[in-house]
């Protein structure tokens, strides 16, 4: 424990004890290899898609469906039912309202798993779906998936053409996760892939009478990019019927090659759930035997995401070891409560995961030496700017067994980060200048994540990492990053959070980046942010924000959570507020809600996958962020006391 944590002012001594308990718990969670990797959970759509995949892999025989995976399907159905809302629907974040796409997927999966349409649970789900607009209101990917089994009219789902692969670098103008989804899906759809549903199986009861099956038209009747892409979709249908088949075959082979290349040095395509599911379907439609090494590997990587605990089964969307390790090691380092051996093991493991091959990012940065870190255990094509910045911050506290190797890796990663700055001065997640807004209007872009634009939360973290790595505040990249943050501040003083819920997350890391970059706490943008944070504090002293903030386009309060309270405190401290009543009440909330074993409880989803569409519950957020907040508060309070003591000494002299 560093001397700065031995605080004497209330609740100072309690802060020291809380930090020790939290650090001890986090150290117990460290794996022997040196990393941290906690559970990552989401909504019922993952289990629903698993059941859909089983129908694809094991189609009915003689009209009857009796797949070999029936025991797992039953467990998945049980998991889905356990999360059904009282109104019959299914939500996409804890305590959220029923959402149409998740509800349609769940209904399909449960009915396929054997629930009778007369079952009261399915009847309630059906009523809720119709109240939400029927199956026609579901997103494009739900409709595409169902169309593969002729459960939604193919004439009314968007085309995902494999010919995209023949249009130069167009696919790289999509976000990394979108291209990893679109490429295998284009093979499935472009090859005419389809499977039968069980005899008599239908979803006709979910179609709302009188509602169009087609795409939503632009509301103003004017020519728009949306209109253009709807027209292009119609042309693609004609191309499928009358086009040159050799071109389609060439496109599919190009997509196949692209897809398989990106399974090398990775734990599955993109190392995330949707692409890992679609590649199995793509390999199947391409005729790969079930014992082919690529097929076997694809299935094995997908099934690794399955978690079975007794009679419970659910899927993780991916694994998060680099992210968890970076934040855990940094929080422990800031606390001063970790033995050097634990941090050395973390650093050694981190260094073993540095990217040393060029990936998709190099299309726009071809002359940059590969480096950086990804999110998962292995995902060489997709190093992540946010993870790389977090790892660089962690490495300031960790010394690997080979100090020279660590210094070299840090230098490479720093240069990679600098090269990945976009033209607007900000940083995105995986790519630079991935902001062709026109692509957000294509018919299959309604997953709300077609692009990977720059955002305040990542930009703030990168600025913090640059400062910690010795980059001066007058460096051109730093000044451009600061200007981006000042320019992107919301009118109320907050910042949007792309990868965490939402304005609390964005404001926290924007403030930390600004302060690390040498911004004066008396600057108007920092003062406004602090006022905003204090204004949205809950009566219990904590902070909480609902995922509905994304739907509403403004902060939407929710019950306090440990992780969001920590973000607010970290933002306030970064903004120069170490001792206000708001800060003290926030600290008291964390102290009061900490359990005897050093842990905090949190049910809310405070991580963001795709805003408005997919949210994440990181099960270590409630541990390492409060630890970091308490440690930062203690260090800041210690600094205040040192300054006050120095002033008193000067006065006496």
Q: Give residue-wise pLDDT tens across range 253-276.
A: 999 999 999 999 999 999 999 999
Domain contains 595:
yes
Give the count of beta carbons closer than 10 Å to the beta carbon of residue 588: 17
Instruction: Specify whether 87 is located in the same domain as 162.
Output: yes
Tell me the pLDDT band of 219, cut-offs 50, 70 and 90.
very low
Is 0.75 topped by the overall pTM?
yes
* Residue 235 reports pLDDT greater than 80: no
User: Residue 64, CB half-sphere, CA atoms under 13 Å: how many?
Assistant: 4
Tell me the pLDDT band of 652, cut-offs 50, 70 and 90.
low
Residue matched to tokens 């093979």: 187
Contact 164, 182 (CB under 8 A): yes
Which of 250, 283, 315 terminates a domain? The answer is 315
Domain contains 216:
no
Instruction: Specify whether 300 is located in the same domain as 423.
Output: no
What's the burial of 231, exposed, middle or buried (CB within 10 Å: 0-12/13-18/19+)?
exposed
Q: What domain range includes position 391?
A: 31-40+319-432+469-488
Instruction: Specify whether 478 is located in the same domain as 516.
Output: no
Q: What is the pLDDT of residues 91-138, one digit of tens each?
A: 999 999 999 999 999 999 999 999 999 999 999 999 999 999 999 999
Instruction: Specify whether 291 is located in the same domain as 327.
Output: no
Tell me the pLDDT band of 644, cut-offs 50, 70 and 90.
very low
Question: What distance separates the 2 farthest-apart alpha carbons in the chain?
Answer: 97
Q: Which helix (DSSP H) or strand (DSSP E) does residue 615 occupy? A: strand 614-618
Instruction: Specify whether 183 is located in the same domain as 258.
Output: yes
Q: What is the pLDDT of residues 422-481, one digit of tens each?
A: 999 999 999 999 998 888 878 777 767 899 999 999 999 999 999 999 999 999 999 999
Tell me the pLDDT band of 229, cut-offs 50, 70 and 90.
low
Helix or strand or coil: residue 608? strand
Q: Supply the mean pLDDT for the chain.
A: 92
Instruction: Specify whether 574 is located in the same domain as 563.
Output: yes
Instruction: Specify whether 544 is located in the same domain as 478.
Output: no
Task: Tokens for 321, please give them.
Answer: 């070891």
Domain contains 447:
no
Residues 460 and 467: their CA atoms lie apart, in Å, by 11
Residues 278 and 152: their CA atoms lie apart, in Å, by 18
pLDDT at 354: 98
What is the dihedral sign for C-alpha 372, 374, 377, 381? Answer: negative
Which of 295, 315, 335 terminates a domain? The answer is 315
* Residue 2 reports pLDDT greater than 50: no
Closest CA to 27 of 357, 336, 311: 336
User: Residue 48, CB half-sphere, CA atoms under 13 Å: how many?
Assistant: 26
Decide if 386 is catalytic: yes
Q: Which residues touch 277 (CB under 8 Å, ≥6 apart)?
A: 49, 50, 53, 302
Task: Tokens for 533, please give them.
Answer: 């944070």
Alpha helices, H only, 381-439:
385-395, 403-419
Domain contains 268:
yes
Instruction: Specify whether 54 is located in the same domain as 202.
Output: yes
Domain contains 440:
no
Q: What's the domain count of the chain?
A: 3
pLDDT at 9: 42
Instruction: Give the angle subtended at the CA of 101 by the CAs of 99 and 105, to the nearest 5°.
Output: 115
Q: What is the pLDDT of residues 491-516, one digit of tens each?
A: 999 999 999 999 999 999 999 999 99
Instruction: Give the angle subtended at the CA of 621 by the CAs of 310 and 638, to the nearest 5°.
Output: 145
pLDDT at 411: 98
* Residue 365 reports pLDDT greater than 50: yes
Domain contains 221:
no
pLDDT at 445: 73
Instruction: Specify whether 343 is located in the same domain as 235.
Output: no
Q: What is the pLDDT of residues 386-416, one digit of tens each?
A: 999 999 999 999 999 999 999 999 999 999 9
pLDDT at 13: 60
Task: Tokens for 236, please give them.
Answer: 């693609």
Q: What is the pLDDT of residues 549-558, one digit of tens each?
A: 999 999 999 9
Q: Name residue 545's beta-bridge partners.
A: 557
Residue matched to tokens 């995949």: 53
First to last CA, the chain: 33
Please state whether 33 falls in left (phi above 0), alpha (psi between -120 and 50) or beta.
alpha
User: Residue 159, CB half-sphere, CA atoms under 13 Å: how many?
Assistant: 21
Instruction: Specify whether 152 is located in the same domain as 7.
Output: no
Q: Which helix (DSSP H) or strand (DSSP E) does residue 184 occupy? A: helix 176-190
Catalytic residue among 386, 387, 431, 577: 386
Instruction: Specify whether 294 is located in the same domain as 329.
Output: no
Q: Which helix (DSSP H) or strand (DSSP E) does residue 447 occupy? A: none
Higher pLDDT, 233 or 524: 524
Which of 252, 287, 315 terminates a domain? The answer is 315
Report the CATH number at residue 278.
Answer: 1.50.10.20
For 17, 163, 240, 247, 650, the CA distances from 282, given in Å and listed in that order, are 54, 15, 18, 18, 74
Domain contains 238:
yes
What is the percent of the chain with per-residue pLDDT over 90, rounded to a whole number? Answer: 85
Domain contains 111:
yes
Alpha helices, H only, 12-139:
12-28, 45-57, 70-81, 100-113, 120-131
Q: What is the pLDDT of residues 194-217, one digit of tens each?
A: 999 999 999 999 999 999 887 665
Q: What is the pLDDT of residues 48-80, one digit of tens each?
A: 999 999 999 999 998 899 999 999 999 999 999
Instruction: Specify whether 85 is located in the same domain as 200.
Output: yes
pLDDT at 479: 98
């Amino acid at each position: 424990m560093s001397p700065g944590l031995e605080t004497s002012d209330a609740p100072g001594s309690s802060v020291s004890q809380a930090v020790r308990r939290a650090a001890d718990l986090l150290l117990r969670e460290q794996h022997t290899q040196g990393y941290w990797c906690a559970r990552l959970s989401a909504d019922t759509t993952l289990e629903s898609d698993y059941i859909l995949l089983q129908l694809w892999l094991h189609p009915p025989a003689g009209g009857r469906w009796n797949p070999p995976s029936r025991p797992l399907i039953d467990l998945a159905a049980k998991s889905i039912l356990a999360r059904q809302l009282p109104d019959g629907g299914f939500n996409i974040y804890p305590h959220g309202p029923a959402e149409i796409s998740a509800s349609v997927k769940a209904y399909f999966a449960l009915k396929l798993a054997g629930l009778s349409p007369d079952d009261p649970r399915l009847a309630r789900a059906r009523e809720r779906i119709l109240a939400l607009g029927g199956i026609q209101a579901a997103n494009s990917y739900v409709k595409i998936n169902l169309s593969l089994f002729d459960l939604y009219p193919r004439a009314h789902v968007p085309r995902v053409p494999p010919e995209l692969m023949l249009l130069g670098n167009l696919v790289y103008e999509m976000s990394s996760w979108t291209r990893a989804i679109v490429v295998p899906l284009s093979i499935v759809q472009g090859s005419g892939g389809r499977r039968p549903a069980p005899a008599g199986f239908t979803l006709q009861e979910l179609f709302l009478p009188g509602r169009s099956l087609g795409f939503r038209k632009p509301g103003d009747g004017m020519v728009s990019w949306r209109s253009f892409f709807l027209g292009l979709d119609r042309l693609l249908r004609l191309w499928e019927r009358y086009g040159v088949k050799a071109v389609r075959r060439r496109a599919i082979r190009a997509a196949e090659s692209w897809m398989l290349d990106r399974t090398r040095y990775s734990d599955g395509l993109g190392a995330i759930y949707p692409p890992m599911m679609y590649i199995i379907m793509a390999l199947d439609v391409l005729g790969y035997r079930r014992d082919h090494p690529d097929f076997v590997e694809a299935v094995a990587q997908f099934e690794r995401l399955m978690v079975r605990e007794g009679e419970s089964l659910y899927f993780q969307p991916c694994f998060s070891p680099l992210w968890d390790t970076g934040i855990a090691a940094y929080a422990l380092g800031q606390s001063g409560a970790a033995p050097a051996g634990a941090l050395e093991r973390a650093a050694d493991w981190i260094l073993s995961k540095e990217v040393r091959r060029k990936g998709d990012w190099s299309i726009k940065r071809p002359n940059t030496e590969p480096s950086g870190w990804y999110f998962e255990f292995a995902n060489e094509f997709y190093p992540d700017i946010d993870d790389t910045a977090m790892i660089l911050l962690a490495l300031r506290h960790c010394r690997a067994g080979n100090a020279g190797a660590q210094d070299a890796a840090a230098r490479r990663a720093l240069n990679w980060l600098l090269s990945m700055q976009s033209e607007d001065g900000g940083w995105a997640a995986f790519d630079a200048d991935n902001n062709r807004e026109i692509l957000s209007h294509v018919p299959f872009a309604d997953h709300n994540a077609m692009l990977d634009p720059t955002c305040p939360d990542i930009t703030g973290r990168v600025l913090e990492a640059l400062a910690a790595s010795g980059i001066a505040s007058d460096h051109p990249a730093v000044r451009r990053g600061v200007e981006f943050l000042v320019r992107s501040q919301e009118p109320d003083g907050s910042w949007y959070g792309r990868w965490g819920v939402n304005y609390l997350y964005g404001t926290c890391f924007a403030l930390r980046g600004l302060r690390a970059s040498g911004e004066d706490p008396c600057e108007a943008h920092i003062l406004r942010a602090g006022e905003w944070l204090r204004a949205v504090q809950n009566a219990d002293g904590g902070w909480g924000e609902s995922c509905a903030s994304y739907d509403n386009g403004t902060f939407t309060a929710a019950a306090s959570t440990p992780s969001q309270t920590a973000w607010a405190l970290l933002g306030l401290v970064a903004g120069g507020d170490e001792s206000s009543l708001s800060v003290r009440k926030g600290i008291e909330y964390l102290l009061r809600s900490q359990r005897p074993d050093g842990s905090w409880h949190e049910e809310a989803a405070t991580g963001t996958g795709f805003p408005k569409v997919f949210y994440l519950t990181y099960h270590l957020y409630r541990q390492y962020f409060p630890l970091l907040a308490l440690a930062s508060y203690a260090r800041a309070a210690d600094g205040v006391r040192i300054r006050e003591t120095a002033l008193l000494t000067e006065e006496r002299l």
